[in-house]
Amino acid sequence: MNSKEFRRHLHRNPELSFKEFDTQRFILDALRAEGIECRAIATTGVIAKIEGNRGNLSRAVVLRADIDALPVKELNDIDFKSEREGVMHACGHDIHAAVLFGVLQQLNRERNFEGTLFGIFQPGEELNPGGAVKVLAEEPFEGYTVAAVIGEHVDSHLEIGEVGICPGRFMAANDELRLYVTGRGGHAARRAEINDTVTAMCEMVVMTTSLNAHESVVSIGRVIADGATNVIPDKVTAEGTMRTFDAERREHIHTLLRNNAKSIAERYGVEVEVDINHGYPCVVNDVMLSYEAMIVAQDEGIAVRQIEPLATAEDFGYYTERYPSLFYRLGVGSAAGGAHTATFLPDEEAIAVGERMMRRLALHILNK
């Protein structure tokens, strides 16, 4: 099986986060057919191991790809269209997994490197708390010195043959925000008898979004006030997201949100609750590894673009907290459309570029 066939099978049979049981079986079978040592990890994921033919086998490089899909109904007219209603690889994880499979396939046949190579087909990237937490909880690299963890993500803002690399802070930490305002509702015309929960929430939303800054995002995407033209509800809820690149700034905004809630509660005579669901940490690329990767890419004839930090989030951040790591973007062409949409369709020519980049980088680090 080649990597393109591997990708098309995954695309045709997508599974949601932490439900990747069929995907896991398929990957295990494909790896075992290649004679690659592998086993299940993190319930629905897969870990593969290949030992080089020389050197210190306790020194390791880890290659990581995510394997979960999204709750999106595919609208592409292709012969490998999703066969699971309402589920689609709309974020390119099928491409990530195909690249990793291709690299493992090649290096297993060659084994002309020092040390040990691990491949992680990780579940649940799209859903808090993220599959990376479950992988690391099993301590799969215990007894090894991890020289680098390498991952990639498709990007339609880059063309085929390009990669994007951002040294240092790259992707934001994310938190889910849920706000609740509770008071005494009632007839909208009898204002002396009610607490205006709607106006209180409106002010809370405005104060929340006013916390946006150059290196932080605070947005509210959903507000529910289930009243009527002349009815103020007892409870109003709001939901949003928060993205930050700095742990201190992250905690500072959390404090400001709670202080704002206390102020509004006192002024409107209501209860205001701020529920913060802590998400993924910031993805911080190892600076030296980033510049080495740029040189490796150029030597391989792959164009490099140094890109700016992104407010999007990735559970790859958990790996960057523990090991020297690099997460880069793989160009799939502007014709692919937007990720997380029903018509997202990366160009398969990107798979070969991704394999060249990841294989060469892994060998560069292992053979130092």
Tell me which residues are annotated as active site. 66, 126
Q: How far is CA 71 from the centre of its chain?
A: 15
Which residues contact residue 174 at a Cβ distance below 8 angstroms, ignoring those fewer than 6 apart?
241, 242, 243, 279, 280, 313
Write out the two tokens for 123.
């579940």
The interaxial angle of helices 93-110 and 349-366, nearest 10 deg, is: 50
**What one-character-per-residue DSSP string does 73-109 give?**
------TT---STT-B--SSHHHHHHHHHHHHHHHHH
Three-state SS for 349?
Answer: helix
Write out the two tokens for 40.
């299940």
Q: What do you get for the CA distance between the two ends of the chain, in Å?
A: 31
Which residues, listed in sequence order, are joined to residue 303 by a DSSP beta bridge? 162
